[in-house]
Amino acid sequence: MGLNGLLNVGNGIYMLYDPATWYVIVPTVTGTGPFNQHFIRDIGISHLLVGIGYLWGIAAPVQRIWMWGAATVWLTFHGIFHLWEIAVGICGTDVIAQNWHAVYLPAAVGLLGVIWAYAEPTTTPEARA
């Protein structure tokens, strides 16, 4: 979960700091529409907050389920949105192979982390009471 947090924080900072370069460097992004600095920075804020949520959950076990859960919900819907783009023809199915590590894997890791946190005795509702 630490790597998930750090990668999302790093990506968010990069999107906020240099959206034009991020747009060109990240594979498949240019195929989803024209450059939009405002939109990229909006999503950069989301990635930054997702990453902070994962890192916060590591530092604060009592809040872990909420922090990781909220971050994972965003990543999951982000992945679903990417699948929708394929379904309606904005992108081809080839982008699944190109995006899996940056779109689908973080959501899957987040989900496994939330499941683990739910089962972990230090993060159960009894431990928080």
Q: Which residues contact 5 (CB under 8 A, 6 or more apart)?
A: 51, 52, 53, 54, 55, 58
Residue 77, burial from CB neighbour count under 10 angstroms (0-12, 13-18, 19+): exposed
Tell me which residue range forms the domain holding 19: 2-128
Residues 6 and 39: their CA atoms lie apart, in Å, by: 22
pLDDT, one tens digit per residue, over 14-57 is 999 999 999 999 988 998 889 999 999 999 999 999 999 999 99
Question: How many domains are there within the chain?
Answer: 1
Q: What is the model's pTM?
A: 0.88
pLDDT, one tens digit per residue, over 71-105 is 999 999 999 999 999 999 988 999 999 989 999 99
CA dihedral 103, 106, 109, 115 (to 10 degrees): -90
Q: Return the pLDDT at 127.
A: 57
CA angle at residue 2 from 82 to 53, to 5 degrees? Answer: 65
Read off the pLDDT band of 125 (50, 70, 90): low
CA angle at residue 109 from 107 to 115, to 5 degrees? Answer: 105
